[in-house]
Structure 1
Amino acid sequence: MTLTELRYIVTLAQTKHFGRAAQQCFVSQPTLSVAIKKLELELAVTIFERHKSSVTTTDIGKKIIDQAKITLQQAQRIKELAEFDKDQLSAPLKVGAIHTIGPYIFPELVHQLRLSTPKMALYIEENYTSKLKEKLLEGKLDAIIVALPFEEPDIVTTPLYWEDFLMLLHSSHAWCEKSEISTASLVDTELLLLGEGHCFRDQVLESCVSLAQAINQQHQAREGSSLETIRMMVASGLGSSVVPRCAANNGQGNDQLVTLPFSDPVPGRTVALAWRVSFPRTKAIDCLLSALKAISRTGMGNE
């Protein structure tokens, strides 16, 4: 039994497909298939049921895979302990962020860390919260920037800043004459939202119960794949949207866009940094926190 074989079965359980699992593991499909079969023969159990176009995990297979994940996490911990004995600020730091934060915070974060920790390269990734959490727990990321609530055993979470949401309108919209808008009014406009899977979409819908109810009743809100796409759609006159403050005046098309604050209670989010309790590079986390808090003071959020 090897760590490689354990990595293969965990990946196959996640993808449910030999071809995709092999691709993610950067090996050929026959190599992965033979290794998994070898492990099943060694353990004298069937971990996966093979079907024509997919696989399912057996009951005993699920238990083995859960233990395999723990074993892989502990193996990653050994690597981290070895790194701990080196200069904590010279090894690369792997940081992830959700799609609605990463594009707006990463450029300045790279700049800040180049000034404070020039030897520490920064690997950055944008993804959904669920994927970031998975990669953090597996040790593929060292820290992630997410919106609260974010609760997970063995994970430390530190709030960074509060960020208001703003109404984003085309400059010709009738609401531009207002000084503020209530969340209850969202149901009265052609609203552009991010697609399902984005936590920011959920936060917008949570701020306006009537809007969420309308969408659940087959009211079709237009969707965009990113906040920047939505900004361009609003600038083109295709509707209005709700955006976090960081995205309100970013990018092109600002001369066609107007932002409007919400009346109390103002919707928003708490942005936080999360990392594993066991992560040994505490100095690297401290530097990351300092850089992120410095960025928040330059207008990223509302401290």
Structure 2
Amino acid sequence: MKPLPTLRQLHYLVAVVDRCHFGKAAEACLVSQSTLSAGIQELENLLGAPLLERTRRTVLPTPLGREIADRARLVLKGAEELVDMARSVEDPMSGPLHLGVIPTIGPFLIPRVMPALRDSFPKLKLFLREDQTARLLDRLESGELDAAILALPYPSGDVESIDIAEDRFSVVCTPEHRLSDVTTPRPSDVALDDLLLLEDGHCLRDHALAACSMEGARQSAAFQGTSLHTLVQMVANGLGVTLLPQMALDSGILRGLDVVVRPLGGERPFRRIGLVWRRTSGRKETFRQLAAALKTEMSRDSGPQAPANGDASVRTAA
């Protein structure tokens, strides 16, 4: 049987390729620089080809080194999933879990659910990462994240998901605005040239436009904000109207502002909130239990409503 690279050697190579620096790579791997360098040299000897170009100041991967590092990431991710699978058999709700969440959910949801999650799963150690959807999915695919809480629908690649809530949209405007007199504004009532939305890259922008049947007019909104807090300040100053999800309203984002809230009408005036993970992950029972707990917490009081179908069925996207 031919000799094969070790996982440690592949880990060292990926660390150097990602950082192009031996010292930083050694620090990330928690080993000395000499140990890391020796491990990569052993890998090069085993493969019979140079993987790195070394100078006194820089280190760069060769074309072969870059390709092997890309494949090594898949091997390392698969090995981690084998370990996760074995651990989840003993206690699926224990150990570290790296969870991503988007900015239009994280600040409103996390403070609300974390106390209950700590009480329900004291052995589960959550590490949270807030970022936009596309970057979270990239980190999910690379193995940096185990799962993510996203607003759906969104083209998510090879993942599975469970819906945990439906987050209804409401129209927010000043008392002087014409929509303040409409009990349940229809999508056609929301004038496009008056609508304030988040900038491109935030999936809430697309979901709000879809709720108003304005998918084809993504670049025409009057203002593009960087956060929901910015949008509500613009509305309060009479510069237009916006759509806010219920979880943001429940968090008190409008507290102290002289504005009016009206529930949006239409066929689907909401976004779906879901937990997503890699289809190949070995921690599916962990995610099912986490999704069930999130669904319970999000359905309490007057917040986002749990999916109407009752069961939190798993969806697969490819």
The answer to whether the superposition gives a TM-score over 0.5 is yes
Residues in 1 aligned to 2:218 and 2:134: alpha-carbon distance in whole angstroms: 26
Equivalence map 1:1-303=2 (5 Å): 2-8=9-15, 11=18, 18=20, 44=49, 63-81=67-85, 83-84=87-88, 87-149=91-153, 150-153=155-158, 155-208=159-212, 212-213=216-217, 215=219, 219=220, 221-254=222-255, 255-298=257-300, 299-302=302-305, 303=307
Residues in 2 aligned to 1:220 and 1:94: alpha-carbon distance in whole angstroms: 35
Q: Cα 1:56–1:46, aligned 2, differ >3 Å: closer, same or farther?
A: closer
Residues in 1 aligned to 2:250 and 2:259: alpha-carbon distance in whole angstroms: 8
TM-score normalised over the length of structure 2:
0.73
Q: CA RMSD in A?
A: 3.9
More helix by share: 1
Unaligned runs of 5+ in 2: 54-59, 308-318
Unaligned runs of 5+ in 1: 13-17, 49-54
Structure 2 counterpart of 1:159, which letter? D
**SS in structure 2 at match of 1:300:** coil
Residues in 2 aligned to 1:10 and 1:172: alpha-carbon distance in whole angstroms: 58
Residues in 1 aligned to 2:214 and 2:108: alpha-carbon distance in whole angstroms: 30
CA contact (8 A) 2:184 2:265 kept: yes
Q: Cα 1:113–1:182, aligned 2, differ >3 Å: closer, same or farther?
A: same
* Sequence identity (%): 29
Residues in 1 aligned to 2:205 and 2:61: alpha-carbon distance in whole angstroms: 32
Q: Cα 1:87–1:45, aligned 2, differ >3 Å: closer, same or farther?
A: same
CA contact (8 A) 2:172 2:261 kept: yes
> Which segment drifts farther, 77-86 or 239-248?
77-86
Tell me the matched-pair count: 288
Structure 2 counterpart of 1:11, which letter? D
Computing the radius of gyration from Cα coordinates, the structure with the larger value is 2
CA contact (8 A) 1:145 1:274 kept: yes
**SS in structure 1 at match of 2:196:** strand
Structure 1 counterpart of 2:172, which letter? L
Residues in 1 aligned to 2:274 and 2:221: alpha-carbon distance in whole angstroms: 32
TM-score normalised over the length of structure 1:
0.76
The C-alpha deviation readout for 1:108-136, integer Å capped at 9, x for no partner, is 22111122122323222221112222222
CA contact (8 A) 2:51 2:66 kept: no
